Every structure is written in C-alpha cells, then in structure tokens.
Amino acid sequence: MSDATKNLIIRVLIHGAVLYVLYVLQGMVFSRLPLFGVLPLILPLSVVGVGLFEGPSWGAGVGLAAGVLCDIALGSTVLFTIALTGLGMGVGLLSSYLISRGFPSYVICCAAALLVLAFMQMFTLLVFLRQPPLALFRVGALQTAYSMLFALPMYVLTRSLARRAKA
Amino acid sequence: MKKYLKTKGVVIGGITFLLVLIALLSLLGVGRTSFVQNTVAAITRPVETGIRNFVGTLEQMYNHMHNYDTLEAEHRELLARVAAYERRAREAEEIREENERLRTLLGLSQGIYNERLVDAAVLSWDASNWTSAFTIDRGEDYGIAVGDAVMTERRELVGVVRQVGRNWARVETIIDPSVRVGGQMGTGVSGIAEGNFALMGDWTLRLSLLPTGEVPLLNDVITTSGYGGVIPKGLVIGRVERVGMEGTGVSYYAIIQPAAELNRLVQVFVVQNVEIDS
C-alpha cells in the first residue's frame, strides 16, 4: 500500500471518528443541556470548517456523512444529508476562489449556514402546518445563537485536523 | 472553478451519485428507513443503549443516596395502589364474565377492541428544537408499524409511531405540531387534540374544532375518541388546563396538560393491530 493511500485512509478514519464523537455530543450530551429551551447544532459547524480548510471535495464528503448522522439524530429524512453536502461543497468552493481561510470568514459562513438550516427546519411547520411564525423565528434565532457558542472550539478543531492532513 | 471540476470531476460525480441514491432510497418507503439510515443506526444504537444504561445507573445511585426516604414512601403508596388495582381487577373479571354470559344470552357480538401490546424502552430523544419525538428499542422485528399508537402502562396516550427501522422506531409525542388525534371531552363532545409549536415548550397541546357553543370544563379529562380506527378509543390524553375562544369568536378551544409525564418516560407500550371483532 502506497503512502498516499495510507494517508488517505487515516484521514478518512480521523474524520469519521471526529464526526462520530460530535454526533454523540450533539445527540446524547447537548440534547440534555438546553439553553433557553433550545438545543444546539454542532455537526454543521464541522462541515463548514472542513469545507473552508480542506476544500470542496472533502467538504462535500464530510458533509454527506455528517448529514446522514444529523438526519438520524434529529429525526429528519434526507434534509441534512442534502443540505450539509451542499454546504461543505459550497464553503469549499468559496474558500478556493473568494474568501480567506480565517476565523472571521468561518464565523460568517457558520452563522449564514445555521440561519439557512433553521429556516429549512421550520419551513414545513411554517408553510404546511401553519404554526405561529413568531415562535418559530424565536427558536430559529436561539438555535443559531446557541450553536455559535461552539464556533471557536470547532474552528480550532477543524483547522488542526486540516494542518495535520497537510503535514 | 472549471479547473476544479476538471480535476475533481470523479469525486463530485461520486458524491452526487451517493446523494441521489440516499434520497431515492429514502423516498421509496415513506415512514420506513433507508438502508443507509438503518445501517448507521445499527452501529449507533448500541452506543446509545450503553449511554442510556450508564446514565440510568448514575441516576439510580443518586436516587438511592439522596431520595431514599421519598422512594420508600412512594413504594409504600404504590404497594397500596397495587392492592387496590388487584381488587378492582378481580371485580372487573367477575363483571366481564357476567357481561359475556349476558351477551351470550342476548345473542350480541363482542364489539370490543382487539389489541396487542409491545413493550419498549425509550432509547433517546430527538436532539431537535422543531419536533417532540423519541426513539424506542423495538421496530419491524416486533411488528411495529407507522401509525401505531404509543401509551403508558396507565393507558395514557404518549404519541404515534412515525418511522420504523429494523430494531427501532421513532415516536412523535402528542405535543408535536404534526400529531393530530381525535379527542373527546367528558360530556362526549369530540374535537381534535393537536400539538402546537408555541405550546410545545410548555409540554401542552390544544383541543380544537369543538362544536359551536361547547365550552370545555377546567380539569375535564380528555380521552381519545377512536375515530379513524387507528388510535384506540378511551386512552387518556390529559386534563383541560385553560380555555379560550378561537379567532372566529364562535367556538372555544382548550389547552390540555398531557396525562403522561412525557419528560420522564422510561418504558412505553405500542398498541398494534387495533381491530374490532364483529
């Protein structure tokens, strides 16, 4: 087995292990720690980080895996599988051609992604089930704010993973 | 961009193919889980069970140390209640036998619900802010199907099965905005008991679509009406906590406090194959 293949396998395994730990944290630890009655979304933050630092291919691949885990943790069908794959690829393309790979870009991408995801999550409730919009927007805003508390540790984690992969 | 697509076209193609495949597999069976979700769930469920058991043990130890007196008093009270229930069960058995004899005498059909119960443990709650749902450790292997009602041992309605995997199922509780159940007041008047997003945070639900002029009574017990034949009749939904007037100004609605303690569920029962013997 060549060094390149070995490195690729190690990189995939590390990403898989990190995603699994984040899935357990999101689904089983932070699900017991609501803040103002809401729970955070952590997995999308890692997808933004991988897309930003490792490019669109890794962003899309990690987004796909994170999306499947998110759909299981949150009980949705394929919403996150599709959204997070697109998110990882989109952020990867932006970082390749348009934006810098720094903390401000990461924070802006995370906030935008979390707001879009919150809107996607509330869409059915808002449009088809006609639930009160104010209550939905309040939960969407709180979910985004709570999740953003994890931006700094996730930035450090994904950047160190990318540096290790490049080394 | 063009350069990127030229060099990474195969990777992008592969990811797109996987994405389409997962989406198609999921869309093929509404309510049933895809192969991918089933496989990932099969890997993650044992960890969830392990964590649940670990947390349960810690809670037991804490309760043992700090709530011993309370538990002892509760135990004594429960023993007394069990004795009372046993007495009532014996009486009920006598009444059932008498009822059977009288029905035979009059030549009437049985006309009762035939239900099979599957007990299940609550594995984990959805980590979502938009639904109120949890996963149980029984699935297709035990004959559980989408639409089955879920209740407590005291016949209090908990929710409805929405998604079924091989060895797990996802239950949406009665306070979830997408759950609607036929509800009946003590007076026999029916309405629709439905979850509402604004009420979900308070663990309450709403009884709507009541006939014009019908005023719900505070503390009245709301039970399932059984209309539709999916949810059995007579399961306790909860008690009326508040009453208000609908926006139309001609009918009332009620805010219901669920009878089942949804935030403290450990074990539930799935009601299967509800049929009426004729």
Instruction: Name the residue among A57, A82, A121 with its Cβ closest to that of B130.
Output: A121
Q: Do A132 and B196 touch (CB under 8 A)?
A: yes
Q: Please list every residue in chain A whose beta carbon sits closer than 8 Å to the beta carbon of residue B4.
A: 56, 93, 96
Instruction: Provide the domain count of chain B.
Output: 2
Q: Please list every residue in chain B whose beta carbon sits closer than 8 Å to the beta carbon of residue A69.
A: 40, 44
Q: Note whether residue B250 is domain-resident.
A: yes
Whether residue B71 is predicted with pLDDT greater than 50 in this model: the reply is: yes
Q: Note whether residue B50 is domain-resident.
A: no
Chain B, residues 199-238, CB within 8 A of chain A, namely: 201
Whether residue B194 is predicted with pLDDT greater than 80 in this model: the reply is: yes
B2 or A105, higher pLDDT: A105
Q: Please list every residue in chain A whose beta carbon sits closer than 8 Å to the beta carbon of residue B163.
A: 75
Most confident of A16-30, A110-124, B15-29, B216-230: A110-124
Least confident of A46-55, A135-144, B7-16, B98-107: B7-16
Angle at A124 between CA A82 and CA A141, to 5 degrees: 85
Encode A68-95: b = buried (16+ Cβ within 10 Å), e = exposed: bbbbbbbbbbbbbbbbbbbbbbbbbbbb
Q: Which CATH number fits domain A3-166: 1.10.150.20, 1.10.760.10, 3.40.50.720, 1.10.1760.20?
A: 1.10.1760.20
- Cα separation of B85 and B151, whole Å? 19
Q: Note whether residue B255 is domain-resident.
A: yes
Per-residue pLDDT reduced to its tens digit, B159-177: 999 989 888 899 999 999 9
Q: Note whether residue B52 is domain-resident.
A: no
Q: Do A30 and B127 touch (CB under 8 A)?
A: yes
Q: Please list every residue in chain A whose beta carbon sits closer than 8 Å to the beta carbon of residue B18.
A: 64
Query: Are residue B25 and residue B123 in the same domain, yes or no?
Result: no
Domain edges within chain A: 3-166
Place B278 in a pLDDT band, splitting at 50, 70 and 90. Answer: very low
Domain of B276, CATH number, reads: 2.40.10.340
> Which of A120, A60, A146 minimizes the C-alpha distance to A95?
A60
Domain with B9 in it: 1-30
